[in-house]
């Protein structure tokens, strides 16, 4: 019996003309083709576009704009010459004021969908923005040697493709990293084992609390051992470009520093408003945008209204990014995180900053925590900063603690809205919410929501 072969249907080659009705939550234009929904990359609301097909599905079509008429007043020329191809950014064609307005509209719509109009009488917080270019201090760059392209490609994946963008610059990673793209391509191309390098992790630290000078660390993943010649070339590159170089031959546990040979496995970042310094390993999770992180931490602490008699719980605390700033103002703070390594880093940073009113615990925060020792305490205020999946499994347990105020930092407005409904069902009111532009030129929405216990006098809003 012969095997039946399934082939993907060829895409239509014709260019179609479409009127863009609105934007979806991914920032793509919404149009109709014979009644069928179409999402158009690179289009803005109100525009008329010529577009080509990039994908077809039973329920919708996906296209990319190739020519624009009736141009939106919010349209700008992208600053990056790779923006039409690279998947790292998707909103460079929209001015930055409209970008954050769009993100705010996504948050409001998600809350209204989940809560209904009668429960969305909250204060809209001021939008928090910062530098729009060269803001990204953490990145994972894909690597591939492609002979017909002349050697190594290093960068982000192309839109709608697994291919790597053939780029020599990037407008969103910090300038010190953007300047390394071409030298790194030349380096990988020259290595005997360059074809076995699939990715490079980038982490950038700060040199001092008063200086803008940055320290770059690169973690090179390699699937085969480097030759002695390769190692010599790598070390020379690190020395020439004054970077810290790590190699990763296998999993995360194999990451090791090879230059400089000082044995110090940490970078630093600073929160000047609190006089704090943070140590982190290049593979640790840290917020991508240093400037916005500073603003968000200050904003969150202000929303909590931390007083010197308060005991505060910080859930999903990581290395103490919010825990330690809160500790400078509160009586005591408990930070809880799933990763034992991050708990150790939090303790390390508390000691580094001479803070003695902090405790860190490890717990699986995807499960109810009411039997944990730290959960039996009384807390005046709670901050949580969960992953994209949100905190649905523990919202009821958080509510049961009875804290006067809760501040929720979110990187996904859909899960924030879902969890907000549970907080409201468990004795809290939503006082305020707002957006912060952690990832300019992308559709990523960072937001914050402030809750207060319903039986307490209403805060001024």
Catalytic residues: 411
Q: pLDDT for 228-239, tens place per residue?
A: 999 999 999 999
Gap between the Cα atoms of 229 and 220, Å rounded: 16
Q: What is the pLDDT of residue 119?
A: 65
Confidence of residue 186 (pLDDT cuts 50, 70, 90): very high
Token reading at 171: 């407008």
Q: pLDDT for 294-337, tens place per residue?
A: 999 999 999 999 999 999 999 999 999 999 999 999 999 999 99
Domain 138-269 coded CATH 1.10.1760.20: no
In the three-class reduction of DSSP (H, G, I as helix; E, B as strand; rest coil), residue 148 is classed as helix
Burial of 10 (C-beta count, 10 Å sphere; 0-12/13-18/19+): exposed
Gap between the Cα atoms of 36 and 61, Å rounded: 8
Record: fold of 108-130+289-453 = Rossmann fold (3.40.50)
Write out the DSSP string of 236-284.
HHHHHTT-EEEEESSSGGG-EEEESTT----EEEEEGGGTEEEEE-TTS
Residue 134 has pLDDT above 70, yes or no: yes
Q: What is the mean pLDDT of residues 103-112?
A: 96
- The angle at the Cα of 30, spanning 29 to 31, to the nearest 5 degrees, equals 120
Q: pLDDT for 145-173, tens place per residue?
A: 999 899 999 999 999 889 999 999 999 99
Q: What is the pLDDT of residue 34?
A: 92
The CATH 2.40.50.140 domain(s) of the chain lie at 16-75
Crossing angle, helix 181-190 and helix 228-240, to 10 degrees?
160
Average pLDDT, the chain: 94
b/e string for 251-280 if b means 16 or more Cβ within 10 A?
A: eeeebebebeeeeebbbebbbeebebbbbb
CATH number of 16-75: 2.40.50.140
Residue 461 has pLDDT above 50, yes or no: no
CA dihedral sign, ordered 204, 208, 212, 213: negative
User: What is the rounded (10 degree) CA torsion for 437, 438, 444, 450?
Assistant: -70
Gap between the Cα atoms of 367 and 133, Å rounded: 39
Confidence of residue 2 (pLDDT cuts 50, 70, 90): very low
Contact assessment for residue 419 and residue 391, using Cβ atoms and an 8 Å cutoff: yes
Q: What is the mean pLDDT of residues 441-451?
A: 97
The CATH 3.40.50.150 domain(s) of the chain lie at 108-130+289-453
Looking at the chain, the whole-number percentage of residues with pLDDT higher than 90 is 90
State the number of CA atoms in the 13 A half-sphere of 264 facing the CB: 8
Q: What is the pLDDT of residue 124?
A: 96
Gap between the Cα atoms of 419 and 179, Å rounded: 42
Q: What is the pLDDT of residue 207?
A: 87
Q: What is the pLDDT of residue 211?
A: 67
Residue 1 has pLDDT above 70, yes or no: no
Q: What is the mean pLDDT of residues 285-300?
A: 97
Token reading at 309: 């008699």
Residue carrying the six token digits 């239509």: 12
User: What pTM was computed for the model?
Assistant: 0.94
Q: pLDDT for 8-62, tens place per residue?
A: 678 889 999 999 999 999 999 999 999 999 999 999 999 999 999 999 988 999 9
Burial of 56 (C-beta count, 10 Å sphere; 0-12/13-18/19+): middle
Q: What is the pLDDT of residue 118?
A: 62
Rg of the chain over Cα atoms, rounded to whole angstroms, equals 24
Q: What is the pLDDT of residue 7?
A: 53
Confidence of residue 213 (pLDDT cuts 50, 70, 90): confident
Provide the β-strand partners of residue 381: 312, 405
Q: pLDDT for 353-378, tens place per residue?
A: 999 999 999 999 999 999 999 999 99
Contact assessment for residue 357 and residue 331, using Cβ atoms and an 8 Å cutoff: yes
Residue carrying the six token digits 């190739």: 66
Q: What is the mean pLDDT of residues 114-129?
A: 87
Helix (H) or strand (E) holding 23: strand 22-23
b/e string for 129-157 if b means 16 or more Cβ within 10 A?
A: bbebbebbbbbebbbbbeeeeeebbbbbe
Token reading at 222: 């390699």
Phi, psi of 413 (to 5 degrees): -60, -25
In the three-class reduction of DSSP (H, G, I as helix; E, B as strand; rest coil), residue 234 is classed as helix
Confidence of residue 6 (pLDDT cuts 50, 70, 90): very low
Q: Which residues touch 373 (CB under 8 Å, ≥6 apart)? A: 361
Confidence of residue 282 (pLDDT cuts 50, 70, 90): very high
The CATH 2.40.50.1070 domain(s) of the chain lie at 138-269
Q: pLDDT for 379-415, tens place per residue?
A: 999 999 999 999 999 999 999 999 999 999 999 999 9
């Amino acid at each position: 019996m012969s095997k039946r072969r399934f082939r993907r249907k060829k895409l239509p080659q014709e260019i179609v003309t479409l009127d863009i009705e609105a934007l979806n939550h991914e920032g793509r234009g919404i149009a109709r083709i014979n009644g069928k929904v179409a999402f158009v990359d690179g289009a803005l609301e109100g525009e008329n576009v010529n577009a080509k097909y990039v994908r077809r599905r039973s329920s919708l079509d996906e296209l990319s704009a190739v020519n624009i008429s009736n141009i939106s007043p919010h349209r700008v020329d992208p600053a990056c010459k790779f923006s039409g191809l690279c998947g790292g950014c998707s909103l460079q064609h929209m001015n930055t004021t409209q970008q954050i307005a769009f993100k705010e509209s996504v948050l409001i719509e998600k809350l209204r969908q989940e809560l209904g109009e009668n429960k969305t009488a909250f204060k809209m917080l001021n939008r928090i923005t910062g530098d729009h270019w060269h803001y990204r201090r953490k990145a994972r760059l894909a690597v591939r040697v492609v002979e017909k392209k002349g050697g190594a490609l290093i960068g982000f994946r192309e839109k709608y493709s697994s291919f790597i963008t053939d780029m020599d610059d990037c407008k969103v990673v910090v300038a010190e990293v953007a300047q390394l793209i071409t030298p790194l391509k030349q380096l990988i191309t020259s290595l005997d084992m360059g074809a076995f390098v699939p990715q490079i992790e980038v982490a950038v630290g700060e040199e001092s609390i008063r200086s803008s000078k940055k320290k770059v660390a690169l973690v090179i993943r390699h699937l085969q051992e480097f030759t002695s010649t390769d190692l010599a070339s790598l070390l020379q590159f690190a020395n020439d470009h004054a970077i810290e170089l790590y190699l990763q031959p296998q999993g995360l546990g194999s990451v090791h520093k090879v230059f400089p040979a000082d044995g110090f496995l940490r970078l630093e970042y600073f929160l000047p408003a609190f006089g704090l310094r943070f140590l982190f390993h290049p593979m640790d999770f840290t917020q991508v945008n240093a400037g916005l992180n500073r603003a968000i931490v200050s904003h969150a602490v202000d929303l909590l209204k931390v007083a010197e008699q308060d005991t505060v719980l910080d859930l999903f605390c990581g290395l103490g990014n919010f825990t330690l700033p809160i500790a400078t103002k509160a009586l005591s703070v408990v930070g809880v995180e799933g990763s034992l390594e991050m708990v150790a880093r939090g303790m390390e940073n508390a000691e580094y900053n001479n803070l003695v009113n902090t405790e860190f615990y490890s717990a699986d925060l995807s499960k109810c925590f009411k039997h944990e020792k730290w959960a039996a305490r009384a807390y005046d205020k709670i901050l949580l900063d969960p992953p994209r999946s949100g905190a649905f499994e523990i919202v009821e347990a958080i509510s049961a603690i009875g804290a006067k105020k809760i501040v929720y930092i979110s990187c996904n407005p859909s899960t924030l809205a879902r969890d907000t409904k549970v907080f409201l069902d468990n004795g809290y009111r939503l006082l305020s919410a707002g957006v912060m532009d952690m990832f300019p030129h992308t559709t990523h929405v960072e937001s914050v929501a402030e809750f207060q216990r319903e039986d307490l006098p209403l805060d001024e809003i």
